[in-house]
A and B are shown apart, each in its own frame.
Chain A
């Protein structure tokens, strides 16, 4: 996996089960985001095969939560507008010409992410934690089977981090979502993960959280916790 001719990760052999909460972990520059972007189909694998099969053997429906800094603050969009983008999977020209939208559904997604009061606020004016809730609501609006989050806790205070992790745990439980979450730190999240995909030295290894808590990873866990 990588960009152009530059391989970032090699020998990745992993399967993700439905309903699991996978932490994609590793140090800065270890290829976590490259791995997630490849899984999402944003960049093609340089070699090998990637099978993404959802319920009924169709393609997996992803709900993607990018790093919040990736979105340009120049756009004059309210939180509602941003969440509504999650519903743009199909053109739905007929509905559009008749002026039918999915306002109620978008409001429901905002409420599910605890962001209903933010609907009319300008997205670029929101705090980091509020933006993250709005982006989670947008991912839910895509009616996903898999929620994929790229560093959702970066640049957010500890209290908000805990609230977001609680939200993710509830979403997984209530909606039966599979969750993939990239993080460069593991202390706060480790109780939630069912599996860990560990990226290090150009390789990736995967196992259950218990299996992975050995050797180098165990030291890192304990190091952070300490």
Chain B
């Protein structure tokens, strides 16, 4: 209990890490609900891995002497963010274009991209021994050592993502649920798809930099899966998913800090326990009724 009180104190040494985790936990599920509803859950696996490959590629370029951004630690992070954004954006564009054409096997495409991105990440790291340590730190997620400036930048970006997701919820729902209806209502389906995918790309790119690919995948998929059976309407689904993500993040941080465990896996385990609890309660309710 004393540790819990310590964590929530404003002068807690790692307070940026606590609030940073909380923000990622609250915002990622807002994007993740559309992965679940559009039955694109595997995008949540592949895209963080692609983002990680982008980070590794950016550091490889720097290792090869293309160090326009190198120098301070902050500039290195900017380089990594650019790499992550470009790779994630390209992967989303390719996947979305192929989805719209509705040709071939969707799962096969995503699996191929995941495998290629995983292999590329390892190879980029292997070819860049000089930057290996920094890169591995970024790929694992450096939330614990997040700086004041990065924390505020993250707050700004995730704030914009969350506000856009909530304000344009009706449009995102309409084009996801019934594209034909959206067209007959005169809505520009491509425009709203592009906006949604841009928000997805931004969230994943920045999230992977902050907490690593594993935690981002966990936040994108587990809270919405837990929330779905208890939700009525897209607003309740989004809000409940975000709350579950926030609980997983904060609870995970508390357990990680208290028992000196690695943060990322604990947060994902926490989200998974909530999913198991939800399934158990539903099972009991079904048995009783």
Interface residues of A, Cβ cutoff 8 Å to B? 37, 40-42, 59, 62-64, 66, 70-72, 74-78, 81, 85-86, 88-89, 91, 93, 96-97, 122, 138, 142, 148
User: Contact between A41 and B234 (Cβ–Cβ < 8 Å)?
Assistant: no
What CA separation (Å) do A148 and B233 show in the bound complex? 26
**Which residues on A sit within 8 Å (CB–CB) of B167?**
93, 96-97
What CA separation (Å) do A148 and B180 show in the bound complex? 12
User: Contact between B174 and A88 (Cβ–Cβ < 8 Å)?
Assistant: yes
Q: Which of A42, A77, A122 contacts B183 (CB 8 A)?
A: A42
**Which residues on B sit within 8 Å (CB–CB) of A75?**
37, 177, 234
Asked if B100 is at the interface of the complex by the 8 Å CB criterion, the answer is no
What CA separation (Å) do A42 and B177 show in the bound complex? 15
Interface size in chain B (residues, C-beta < 8 A): 27
What CA separation (Å) do A78 and B178 show in the bound complex? 15
> In B200-241, which residues have CB < 8 Å from any A CB?
228-229, 231-234, 236-237
Q: Which of B171, B177, B231, B236 contacts A71 (CB 8 A)?
A: B177
User: Contact between A88 and B187 (Cβ–Cβ < 8 Å)?
Assistant: yes
Q: In terms of DSSP, what is the predominant structure of the interface of chain B?
A: helix
**Which residues on A sit within 8 Å (CB–CB) of B233?**
76-78, 81
Q: Which of B37, B171, B180, B181 contacts A91 (CB 8 A)?
A: B171
User: Contact between A89 and B185 (Cβ–Cβ < 8 Å)?
Assistant: yes
- Which one of B37, B39, B177 has the highest number of Cβ atoms from chain A below 10 Å of its Cβ? B177
Q: How many A-B residue pairs have CB under 8 A?
A: 77
What CA separation (Å) do A97 and B183 show in the bound complex? 24
What CA separation (Å) do A75 and B167 show in the bound complex? 19
User: Contact between B180 and A85 (Cβ–Cβ < 8 Å)?
Assistant: no
User: Contact between B234 and A81 (Cβ–Cβ < 8 Å)?
Assistant: yes
Question: Knowing A76-B233, A77-B177 touch, does A88 contact B171 (C-beta < 8 A)?
Answer: yes
User: Contact between B181 and A66 (Cβ–Cβ < 8 Å)?
Assistant: yes
**Which residues on B sit within 8 Å (CB–CB) of A74?**
36-37, 39, 228
**Closest Cβ–Cβ distance, residue B15 to chain A (whole Å):** 32
Asked if B173 is at the interface of the complex by the 8 Å CB criterion, the answer is yes
Question: Knowing A76-B231, A96-B167, A122-B232 touch, does A85 contact B181 (C-beta < 8 A)?
Answer: yes
**Which residues on A sit within 8 Å (CB–CB) of B72?**
none
What CA separation (Å) do A78 and B234 show in the bound complex? 10
Question: Knowing A74-B39, A89-B186 touch, does A66 contact B180 (C-beta < 8 A)?
Answer: yes
User: Contact between B232 and A66 (Cβ–Cβ < 8 Å)?
Assistant: no
Question: Knowing A41-B183, A142-B184, A142-B185 touch, does A85 contact B178 (C-beta < 8 A)?
Answer: yes
Between-chain CB contacts (< 8 Å), 12 pairs: A40-B180, A40-B183, A63-B184, A70-B180, A74-B36, A74-B37, A75-B37, A75-B234, A76-B233, A81-B234, A85-B173, A85-B181
Q: Sorted from nearest, which 4 A-B pairs have the closest CB atoms?
A: A76-B231, A64-B184, A62-B184, A89-B185
**Which residues on B sit within 8 Å (CB–CB) of A93?**
167
What CA separation (Å) do A77 and B232 show in the bound complex? 6
Question: Knowing A88-B170, A89-B186 touch, does A71 contact B232 (C-beta < 8 A)?
Answer: no
**Which residues on A sit within 8 Å (CB–CB) of B232?**
76-78, 81, 122
What CA separation (Å) do A87 and B281 show in the bound complex? 36
**Closest Cβ–Cβ distance, residue B225 to chain A (whole Å):** 11
A sample of 5 more A-B contacts (CB under 8 A), given A77-B177, A85-B174, A85-B178, is: A37-B180, A62-B184, A64-B184, A66-B180, A70-B178
Question: Knowing A85-B177, A88-B171 touch, does A42 contact B228 (C-beta < 8 A)?
Answer: no
User: Contact between A40 and B39 (Cβ–Cβ < 8 Å)?
Assistant: no
**Closest Cβ–Cβ distance, residue B100 to chain A (whole Å):** 13
**Which residues on A sit within 8 Å (CB–CB) of B181?**
64, 66, 85-86, 138
**Which residues on B sit within 8 Å (CB–CB) of A37?**
180
What CA separation (Å) do A122 and B231 show in the bound complex? 10
> In B234-280, which residues have CB < 8 Å from any A CB?
234, 236-237
What CA separation (Å) do A42 and B182 show in the bound complex? 10
> In B158-191, which residues have CB < 8 Å from any A CB?
167-168, 170-171, 173-174, 177-178, 180-187
Chain A: CB-nearest residue to B179: A42
**Closest Cβ–Cβ distance, residue B145 to chain A (whole Å):** 38
**Which residues on A sit within 8 Å (CB–CB) of B177?**
71-72, 75, 77, 85
Q: Which of B37, B186, B229, B234 contacts A72 (CB 8 A)?
A: B37
